[in-house]
Amino acid sequence: MYNEIDLDQINTNSEPPSEEPARQYYFMAKCREWVQRFEQKNNRLPTACIRTFGCQMNAKDSEKLMGILEQIGFGISEKEEADLVIYNTCTVRDNANQRVYGRLGYLHALKKKNPHMLIGLCGCMIQEPSAVEKIRKSYGFVDLLFGTHNIFRLAELLYRRAAEKNMVVDIWESTDAIVEDLPALRKYPFKSGVNIMYGCNNFCSYCIVPYVRGRERSREPEEILREIRDLAADGVREVMLLGQNVNSYGKTLAHPISFAQLLKQAEAVEGIRRIRFMTSHPKDLSDELIRVMKESRKICRHLHLPLQSGSSRILKIMNRKYDKEQYLALAKKIRREIPDISLTTDIIVGFPGETEEDFLETMDVVRQVRFDSAFTFIYSKRTGTPAAAMKNQVPEAVVKDRFDRLLKEVQDIATGQCGKDTGTVQEALVEDIDHKQPGMITGRLSNNLMVHFEGPKELVGNIVTVRLKEAKGFYYIGEMI
């Protein structure tokens, strides 16, 4: 992990080093000189704001971007009225892209008021050539465009922007490089995401992720464990191991290791009290993993296991590599081995060619598994994916009707599931004060549900014991004991 380096010791008059991360330290030092000049001129530090769209991976990437900006000397701000605003974008569904385009107009208005303002766009959407073309053509006021593979180069790109005065575009189609030892500014002092792998090799036929995040690359276990140990020493109690498909972790390493083995090693890190991970693909979920979870004191009682569809026919066209029966058998086995586990899922409605019968198969799985919570999505056509070229797209009204029926079903079931632990005593990691009710604080249970209870704000970041008094649909009211 990154150990404070003294940027003032770097000779910024020399040529930039070619190797990483030394090159980025050099450009951080260069940018810091610019920040110092800004401060002298304006009597204040320049401010930076990062907005994150999308998933946990993006949230983690934003922490890395923020770490770089903090080192450079920017004041980190929550507000978009800042001197540098970066949108870390998502493109998994089209509405994510539309939200970014919608907000760019607002940023443009801010930029007209603040001539110093720089606007950057990065992340998944910027890996799509069509989005880049649109931004170049219609949003010329954007200053920086970079993708998912080169976020570690933020300082270099900022420096280039200052020198060139034109839109800087730096997009890599792919990369084998995993650059370690860069700073990160964590959003929470007590919990942190840890990347264990990047990219995805599954090519589910609807999904754009493999195209924008590239091929699967696992980090070396030693690097991951070093990061977890450093986090523990820094007061982190809960880590979330991140990957698009964590169950295939380690297969391509020079010395292959399984995800379950990695978990066991993470479990041995002193100071870490809880381990979560995201996301599991059902096709790769091993018995070894179930056993390790079952025997673990630290791995949380939560498994996110995307179903996508309950129809074996649709699953095949989706290229998911499991069928309805296999999914049901897996869910049953997990619930049998780890009875207190919370099973959550993702479901897509309206995949091309989905019939009412296919949809009813999905409803059937939902009723059989009784998910503790489910994210439901309307199928979104992503250019470049095999599904986008499929002829039989489902009419909007039909999709909407199915979506509403599914949503009602998953919500009714989740509400019932939430009550099942009423009266039990459990540990909760206090994450925040309850902003709606004075005197109350909010904790996360091992099964990922939230519990609200009376307590002092000083407990934020601590693990406390609570009795769950009352279920409120998707959270609990509890009391500390």
Binding site for ligand 5AD (CB under 6 A): 92-93, 206-207, 306, 308, 346, 348, 377, 379-380, 382
* Site size with ligand SF4, rule: CB under 6 A: 10
Q: Which is nearer to ligand 5AD, 144 or 394 (CB)?
A: 394
In sequence order, what are the residues at sequence separation of 6 or more whose Cβ sits closer than 8 angstroms to the Cβ of residue 3?
Answer: 181
Strand partners, 322: none
Examine residue 247 and tell whether it contacts ligand SF4 (CB under 6 A).
no
Alpha-carbon gap, residue 206 to 346, rounded angstroms: 13
CA distances 47 to 116, 120, 152, 383, Å, are 10, 14, 19, 36
- The answer to whether 263 contacts ligand SF4 (rule: CB under 6 A) is no
d(CA 320, CA 202): 8
Task: Check if the beta carbon of residue 258 is closer than 8 Å to that of residue 215.
Answer: no
Q: Which is nearer to ligand 5AD, 345 or 446 (CB)?
A: 345
Nearer to ligand SF4 among residue 72 and residue 209 (C-beta): 209
Told to check if 202 binds ligand SF4 by CB under 6 A, we report yes
Binding window for ligand SF4 (CB under 6 A); candidates: 137-145, 198-206, 443-451, 458-466: 198-206
Tell me the residue length of the chain: 481
CB of 432 to ligand SF4, least distance (A): 29
Residue 244 interacting partner from ligand 5AD, ligand SF4, none (CB closer than 5 to 8 Å by kind): ligand SF4
* Residues 206-245, interacting with ligand SF4 (CB under 6 A): 207, 209-210, 244-245
The least distance separating ligand 5AD from the CB of residue 346, rounded to whole angstroms, comes to 3
Output 59 or 162, the one with its CB closest to ligand 5AD: 59
Specify the residue, 98 or 465, whose C-beta has the smaller distance to ligand 5AD: 98
Shortest distance (Å) from residue 286 CB to ligand SF4: 16
Q: Which does 93 bind (CB under 5 to 8 A by kind): ligand 5AD, ligand SF4, none?
A: ligand 5AD
* Placement of tokens 């909760």 in the chain: 428
Q: How far is the CB of 381 from ligand 5AD (least distance, A)?
A: 7
Give the strand pairing for 440-445 and 425-433: antiparallel
* 109-116: Cβ within 8 A, 24+ apart: 110/80, 110/81, 110/85, 111/141, 114/81, 114/83, 116/38, 116/46, 116/83
The three-state secondary structure class of 211 is: helix
Q: Is 246 in the site for ligand SF4 (CB under 6 A)?
A: no
Q: Which is nearer to ligand 5AD, 282 or 478 (CB)?
A: 282
CB of 357 to ligand 5AD, least distance (A): 20
Shortest separation between residue 424's beta carbon and ligand 5AD, angstroms: 30
Task: Report, in Å, the least distance between residue 308 CB and ligand SF4.
Answer: 7
375-391 in b/e form (b: 16+ CB < 10 A) is ebbbbbebeebbbeeee
Residue 204 touches ligand SF4, criterion: CB under 6 A: yes
- What does 210 interact with, of ligand SF4, ligand 5AD, none (CB < 5 to 8 A by kind)? ligand SF4
For residue 52, give the nearest of 119, 121, 114, 105 by alpha carbon: 121
Beta-bridge mates of residue 169: 145
User: Which tokens sit at 462?
Assistant: 């601590």
Q: Which does 468 bind (CB under 5 to 8 A by kind): ligand SF4, ligand 5AD, none?
A: none
Q: How far is the CB of 125 from ligand 5AD (least distance, A)?
A: 14
What distance in Å separates the CA atoms of residue 44 and residue 89, rounded to the nearest whole number? 29
Residue type at 327?
Y
Q: Which of 163, 173, 203, 425 binds ligand SF4 (CB under 6 A)?
A: 203
In the region spanning residues 267 to 296, those forming contacts with ligand SF4, defined by CB under 6 A, are 281
Residue 274 contact among ligand SF4, ligand 5AD, none, beta carbon within 5 to 8 Å by kind: none
- Using the minimum distance from each CB to ligand SF4, give the nearer residue, 190 or 327: 327
From the list 52, 381, 27, 380, the residue with the least C-alpha distance to 170 is: 27
Tokens at 317, concatenated = 């066209």
Number of H helices, E strands in the chain: 13, 19
CB 225 within 8 A of CB 103: no
Residues 44-83 as x/- pattern, contact with ligand SF4 by CB under 6 A: ----------------------------------------
For ligand SF4, the closer of residues 178 and 278 by Cβ is: 278
Q: What three-state secondary structure class fits 315? A: helix
For residue 251, the minimal CB distance to ligand 5AD (Å) is 21
Contact between 90 and 56 under an 8 Å Cβ cutoff? The reply is: no
3-state secondary structure of 43: coil
Instruction: Note whether 166 and 50 are within 8 A (CB).
Output: no
203 binds, among ligand SF4, ligand 5AD, none (CB under 5 to 8 A by kind): ligand SF4
Measured distance CA(51)–CA(57) in Å, rounded = 13
Residue 185 sits at the vertex; the CA angle it makes with 179 and 189, to the nearest 5 degrees, is: 125
Binding site for ligand SF4 (CB under 6 A): 200, 202-204, 207, 209-210, 244-245, 281
